[in-house]
Structures are given as C-alpha cells and as structure tokens.
Amino acid sequence: LNYLGYTYAEMGVQLEEAERLIRRALEIEPDDGFYVDSLGWVYYQRGDYGHAVEQLEHAVELAGDDPTVAEHLGDAYGRAGKPRDALRLYQDALARAKEAAQIERLKGKVHSLEAAARSAGTGL
C-alpha cells in the first residue's frame, strides 16, 4: 500500500489515490515513520507545505536518522520559507547519506541555499 502510494507521490501523479493508499497503510501501522513520510510527501507534491512540514517533522521523529526523510523535511522547510531549517536538515541528511546520487543532490541543495543567502546578503 505505502510503496505504491509513495511511488505515485514521488511521481506527482494520482495524489488522491496515493493519499488513500498511504492512509490505509497508516491504519495498519500508524507509527511507521516511512508511511508518515509518504503522507507528508503527498502534501508537499500538492503544494500544501504547512501540512507537509507537520507530517514530515513527525516522520523524522519516528524514522530517526533516515536521510531521505530528513531531505523531504528540508524540501518542505524550503518551500515553507524556512531556509535555515532546510539547510540544517540537508546537512544532517548529507552526513548520513550513503548513495552517491543522494549525496550529490544534497550537496547541490546546500550549495544553492548558501549561494542564495550570500547573494541576498543574509547569513543562514
């Protein structure tokens, strides 16, 4: 249930069906941080960044040190206008990431946030 729902969410398609599947998975395992992450990612893909942050913060609490969950929360913080929080989560995720593609993606996100702060004359 969660795998298909998350796949839809990751692709940004069939988000209503994705939410339905993920909620069914959460009925079975309500404290699964990865399922909560998936629901947060549905909200993110819909542009509902407030609810995304709420769910993804809870997912980080439940999933512990998973770099993908931390990256998702960083993405949501960035869209919610919280670049400092986004940078902190990206750095945390980068410290734990093992996959080369994720490491490069996270480095790019950290670099972009730092460059934006420099050009705006603000520190992060």
Euclidean distance between the first and final Cα of the chain, in Å? 39
CA dihedral 19, 20, 26, 28 (to 10 degrees): -160
* Cβ(64)–Cβ(31) below 8 Å: no
Interatomic CA distance for residues 114 and 36, integer angstroms: 29
Please state the domain count of the chain: 1
pLDDT in tens, 16-62: 999 999 999 999 999 999 999 999 999 999 999 999 999 999 999 99
* CATH code of the domain in which 38 resides: 1.25.40.10
- Is the alpha carbon torsion for 62, 66, 70, 71 positive or negative? negative
pLDDT tens readout for residues 52-93: 999 999 999 999 889 999 999 999 999 999 999 999 999 999
Q: Are 58 and 39 in contact (CB under 8 A)?
A: no
The domain in which residue 63 lies consists of 2-120
